[in-house]
Chain A
Amino acid sequence: MHTAQGKQFEQTALKNYLLDHAYDEMFQGPGQLHPHYDPLLEHFASLPANELQRRKQAADLSFLNQGITFTVYGREEGTEKIFPYDLLPRIITSAEWATVERGLTQRITALNLFLRDIYNEGRILNDGIVPREVIYSCKQFRRQMMGLQVPRNVYIAVCGTDLIRLENGEFVVLEDNLRVPSGVSYMLTNRRVMKRIFPQLFSMYNVKPIEQYTQQLLGTLRSLAPEGRPEPNIVLLSPGVFNSAYFEHAYLARQMGIELVEGRDLVTHDNIIYMRTTSGLRRVDVIYRRVDDDFIDPLAFRPDSTLGVAGLFNAYRAGNVTLANAFGTGVADDKALYAYVPDIIRYYMSEEPVLKNVETYLMARPKEREYALANLDKLVVKAVGESGGYGMLIGPQASKAQLAEFAEKIKADPRNYIAQPTITFSRAPCLFGDEFEPRHVDLRPYVLYGDKVTIVPGGLTRVALKRGSLVVNSSQGGGSKDTWVLSE
């Protein structure tokens, strides 16, 4: 920022931009930008006053009119909300991305091998790398999957891994989402809106495209079709319009040109899945399902589910239909298993993990539990089966009563909890009024695994929009921003 405009911009827009110990995505140090943020700030400094506000309104309107919303559970009114969106892109250099890509490829490959192993021979259990009780006590372990042959041995076809940056700028894995990860539609729509609102800025950077995601997803699903079905009928199975991610289901189905079906659209006959159409029944070959295991087949899993398809599991077992992801993948993103993932990678890949884990204490281990209970006010406690920021305690921000409550919960059911040190996520600039302020962010890249591993460059950057907050989940007041991965 050398121009006079730049100086003035710094004084006004950046006056509340204070650095702390967290890694900052924009500044290396006081007054010193990461070079890849230079053009961005120059560009914004050159815009007339209020221009940012004007563009922000244009972006908001665009989201509202498109009905890009999500549903918040547990509230009667206003259950449809716009996903909050921040105008400033988060920029990742190509070198940083190369590491992330390598790490994620390694991780999904290892986790797939792991799932195949535990649902078949169980070598890793016999070798004592992962204790049996971690697997068999996991609610997401599906006994029904034992010994079952899965197309191409791909259990996890679609995954969204949550990454954060430590204080030294290193990307580490916070969480694997191997069941039905969501958010990819926001990644895609963020980019579309961004290109419309800041065409000039966008063209100043060499941003890698992400538009091909839906086509790659379709290719991945097609590659998993049952044998002998050269023109597979692929559908997306959604729980329906009341699901929080319904917008995304509809969006992806439309972008891929496949049918969006609900449980009531599908019927089973002779272990074959059909969908009810106006021209009669039509066979279904691949189901990209966005319904949890528990609800997907009332005969095989929860009998009270009305979202599922009776007989789906048997059809799957007979090899007449492919599900992506497979049943039982949740055992590999259980938060207690998470602690073992680095060992799992070493075991199957004979390599060191490229992306590290966050240090994790398992409450089922007495020593670690004792430590955690004594230091609860410094730790983050998570229930292993929960997601979306529910069932979580953030020690430093919790009241005495909340701490005591969680201590009781942990003692009552240790297997159900893990604890991690409070990590400060990296911070990226966000626009509030005419000012930039830093907010904590994470990154969820989307990984596809069919005949090969494909990762679109970027992902969903989620932002904790409340000042000081570390919770980025959309259900808990988080927002998102466009993520730019630069080419060389």
Chain B
Amino acid sequence: MSGLIAILKKNVRQYMMVIALAVAMISFGLLTDGIFFRPVNLTNLVLQNSYVLILAVGMLLCTLTGNVDLSVGSIVCFIGALCGVMMVDLQWNPYVAMLVALLVGALIGMWQGFWIAFVNVPPFIATLAGMLVFRGLGQVIMKGQTKAPFPREFQLISSGYIPDPFGGFAVGKLNFHVFTLLIGLLIVALITFSEIKKRKKQKEYDFDILPAGVWLGKVIFIATVLVAFTVVFAVYKGFPNILILLGILVIAYQFVASKTVQGRHIYALGGNRKAAELSGVKVRWVMFWIYTNMAILAAVAAMVFTARLNSATPKAGQNFEMDAIAACYVGGSAVSGGVGTIIGAVVGGLFIGVLNNGMSIIGISTDWQQAIKGFVLLAAVAFDLYSKSRSSKVS
């Protein structure tokens, strides 16, 4: 039992976040008489927050180094404007235009990464400059106009759903999206399998492990939640395209961060830059690629956002950087760097998204929503520091 408490204490931050998310969702479910959990609302929740979550994935890597990227909101505006010029004004092939947008995103990232990594401009300053530059340039190329409408293929990024080659499956009044169900079940199977494998490894090395009952409960809980959400999506129109894109990004980045040499280098740099450098980590290049990657993801977010609105506007992307940064810190990143996970940032982003969505449904004004989000951020970080100072006193 004491072992269990020790493990829970050690991971209190992670568990707290998931619990907080669950509590928030269930509370909104009750407060809205179930409207919150309706398939159409959950689909909306994903669509509304997808671009912030995509940004949060990249931002997490920045926060791991102890820094942030303030320019992403403006890059969203600039790339959106560029897409508008290419697809609306010039009538380019949307796929070619999307590729160009990604490349321009990469160039923007390299530009910022260059100043940060090789000229030692503090990231805060370099990206603050980027924030002003790209907002300005975005407005310049739009000449103050809104660009719309976008081609159908482009809009599908955000408004489309995955096809169902099996043609659906009707049970009574409900029509299930079979492909969605299959994907959902596959994911549940993969997660269960990896949990079993992980536990076996941990036993082999005599690490602290959860007691069998608790572990089983955890796996069953995760599986149940995932199955439930899959079913909810399956009875509506299936998984939205954007959810699949998001899922692939999260899994890929989680893999890179936790399993690869590059990921390890990022964490080492964030934990102690000098020690990492003396251990042969090419810290300048790591910084360069992190900021390049961030801008590429900002370009992805720009396309998702533009496709969803079906228009490019000069105000697009405002405060997105703040939402993404908040997602990372709410999700457990340390301000000093070196601590944080992709999954944590996504959970943090979802938590903020759920608050937004739930509060909108029960009719709290956006002004209040803003203030409440602020308090949540403050509380999350304060709790983090508090639990850290307590655990350090114990040991």
* A and B: interacting chains: no
A residues apposed to B, CB below 8 Å: none
